[in-house]
Amino acid sequence: MLPVAWRFGQPSPLPGFRLALCGTLLWLAVIVLIPLGGVLLRSSSIGLAGIWEIATQPRLMAALRLSFGLSLLAGVFSLVVGLLIAWVLTRYDFPGSRFLDAAIDLPFAMPTAVAGIALTAVYAPNGWFGAPLAALGLKVAYTPLGIFIALVFIGLPFAVRTIQPVLAETEVELEEASATLGATRAQTIRKVILPPLIPAALTGLALSFARAVGEYGSVIFIAGNIPFASEIAPLMVVMKLEEFDETGATAIAAIMLGVSFAMLLVINLVQAWTRRRLGHG
Amino acid sequence: MVESTIFREPMKRDRDVADERPLVRRLLIALTVGLMAIFFFTPVALVFVEAFRKGAPAFLNALGDPDTQSAIRLTLLVAAIAVPINALFGVAAAWAAARFQFPGKSILITLIDLPFSVSPVVAGLSYVVLFGSRGYFGPWFAAHGIPVVFALPGIALATTFVTFPFVARELIPLMQQQGVDDEEAALTLGASPWRMFFTVTLPNIKWGLLYGILLCNARAMGEFGAVAAVSGRIRGETNTLPLHVEVLYGGFDLAGAFAVASILAGLALVTLIVKTILEWRHADELAISRRR
């Protein structure tokens, strides 16, 4: 090894650091950083005022409001349902529980376009669920409610998979102590079981929200894409692109990237906060 | 619907005070099964029912269509480009991040995860911004006769972007857990760096690597949004399988759309089964924090 006056990083007997790091950085730059930098550069060419002007066009405003609002709603709903599913899967041993546990990852594995047309067919006015719901006067497909259903499909695994490991680590002894000290089961759940889950729940919410805001394939089929009613932000990017309005597309993309970065920051802050609370460094 | 087997007598356990009453427990289990049936199982079942609604001949007819065949070939080709490249990169990234301490490491790991937080549509758009006819590098590539957007390179790049983190994010925690003892022993015993890598490191991480490649491949073959933004959807030329599903669906060829969708759904189910088998058989050779 060459004698160097200053080393990048701490010394290690293992070889290949420079090769691996340089390869990684090169690949990261080519595939991720330069393209995203291009989007930011292109959108900055019209300035914040330009982005604001595009973002406040009524049709786009409606799409952004729908995307962010529904993503948050779907995230919160996924969190509640995900908590229930995670609880049942980690706490109760019943025939088929392992099968259900494996099936949680179905939305990760299923191509979004397939999920999209399948959900649309299920909730269409003549679909398996759509027909009975339509008889009750509830229209799901081609309305924001349909988008909500698709976003829950996409978001549920995030909620379950972030809560599950934390739930599995909780100590039953604490619950027993709580019960022995006279707490009812409901009190134990509220005061002993739920508080340690808050960081994981926030992380799960942020992950499913970030995914939902950017989700395209599973949403556009069931959304119906009616201007001012059921258009989502990613669809507006594709539409601008198809109109060869790259600047407009990058402006919307910049807003969405801003939200992605904010979500990443939230996740990292929550995790740092958890580590501090648990006293690891 | 709820299978009756679920309601067999619950297993006896000895932590009664920290448990719900059996009735509550059964209700919660039934609720979970019901919710999963509504949200997950019904749509998947529908894909296969619709695909075979008009019988096997119609199904095979839809798959034998030249445009479908071309979409299958393109999808396989794109996966064959994106997956090995990302596997190679993932191993390099894991080696750097799990074996060495250096300033900025946590930033690097966050950046590796970044593609999961970016909308696939934005990922696709970013390559149009770079390589489109009015893009930063587009004119140069056009002048040299290399089409990127609306062609294979753009589709492969967009797919590589969205599948970028899968292998690295599986291997980094796994290699951190495993520690450096084996590798240091191999070096002490005189192995060359590459020999150490192929006889010690690679066998140690093989199941984790396979796990990452499996997920990477499923996403590569199923990606829709990112590819939609760069492909231009030229039928028979730049349509991948998921895009072909959209084209057929948009043309009101529902039987064809669901036939093609059923191949992709089948791929997803196989992926899920292999993934589950890996998790059951080789749990100790996979990263504990593998799930996101």
Q: Domain spans of chain A?
A: 48-280
B261 vs A118: CB contact, 8 Å cut-off? yes
Domain membership flag for residue B263: yes
Burial category of B171 from C-beta neighbours within 10 Å (exposed 0-12, middle 13-18, buried 19 and up): buried
Domain membership flag for residue B9: no
CA B130 to each of CA A108, A244, B220, B241: distance values in angstroms, whole numbers, following the listed order: 29, 14, 21, 25
What residues of chain A lie within 8 A of the CB of B135, using their CB?
38, 246
A85 vs B229: CB contact, 8 Å cut-off? no
Please tell me the pTM assigned to this model.
Answer: 0.89
- Tell me which residues of chain B, numbers 88 to 107, contact chain A at a CB-CB cutoff of 8 Å: 89, 92-93, 95-97, 99-103
Domain membership flag for residue B204: yes
H or E segment and range at residue B111: helix B105-117
Q: Over range A99-110, report the average pLDDT.
A: 94
pLDDT bin (cut points 50, 70, 90) of residue A238 is very high
- Residue B289's pLDDT is 47
Q: Over range A143-154, report the average pLDDT.
A: 96
Domain membership flag for residue B103: yes
pLDDT in tens, A156-191: 999 999 999 999 888 888 888 888 898 888 888 888
Q: Which of B4, B33, B100 to mutate to test the interface with A (most CBs of A within 10 A)?
A: B100
pLDDT bin (cut points 50, 70, 90) of residue A78 is very high
Fold classification of A48-280 (topology level): MetI-like fold (1.10.3720)
Q: In whole angstroms, what is the distance from residue A246 CA to residue A46 CA? A: 12
- Residue A220's pLDDT is 94
Q: In whole angstroms, what is the distance from residue A58 CA to residue A52 CA? A: 12
Nearest to B171 by CA among B46, B253, B290, B84: B290
Which of A103, A176, A179 lies closest to B36 in CB terms?
A103
Q: Over range A26-38, report the average pLDDT.
A: 95
B100 vs A216: CB contact, 8 Å cut-off? no
pLDDT bin (cut points 50, 70, 90) of residue A125 is very high
Q: Which of the 8 DSSP states describes residue B39?
A: I
A172 vs B197: CB contact, 8 Å cut-off? no
- Residue B71's pLDDT is 94
Which of A9, A108, A246 lies closest to B101 in CB terms?
A9
Q: What is the CATH number of the domain that holds B150?
A: 1.10.3720.10
pLDDT tens sequence for chain B (292 residues): 444 444 444 444 444 666 778 888 999 999 999 999 999 999 999 999 999 998 899 899 989 999 999 999 999 999 999 999 999 999 999 999 999 999 999 899 989 988 988 999 999 999 999 998 888 998 999 899 888 888 999 999 999 999 999 999 999 999 999 989 999 999 999 999 999 999 999 999 999 999 999 999 999 999 999 999 998 777 778 899 999 999 999 999 999 999 999 999 999 999 999 999 999 898 888 875 444 3
Q: In whole angstroms, what is the distance from residue A39 CA to residue A26 CA? A: 19
Domain limits at B175?
A: 22-291
Rounded to 10 degrees, the C-alpha dihedral A268/A272/A277/A281 comes to 160
Which of B50, B117, B279 lies closest to A263 in CB terms?
B117
Q: Which of B40, B205, B241, B247 to mutate to test the interface with A (most CBs of A within 10 A)?
A: B40
A114 vs B265: CB contact, 8 Å cut-off? yes
What residues of chain A lie within 8 A of the CB of B8, using their CB?
94-95
On whether any CB of chain A is under 8 Å from the CB of B261, the answer is yes
Between the two ends of chain A, the Cα-to-Cα distance in Å is 34
pLDDT in tens, A247-263: 889 999 999 888 878 87
> For a pLDDT cut of 90, what percent of chain A falls above it?
56
Buried b (16+ CB within 10 A) or exposed e, B252-265: eebbbbbbbbbbbb
Q: What mean pLDDT value characterizes chain A? A: 89
Nearest chain B Cα distance for residue A123, angstroms: 9
On whether any CB of chain A is under 8 Å from the CB of B270, the answer is no
Domain membership flag for residue B12: no
Nearest chain A Cα distance for residue B250, angstroms: 9
Domain membership flag for residue B15: no
Q: Can you read off the two tokens belonging to residue A78?
A: 């996924």
* Total domain count, chain B: 1
**ipTM above 0.90 for this complex:** no
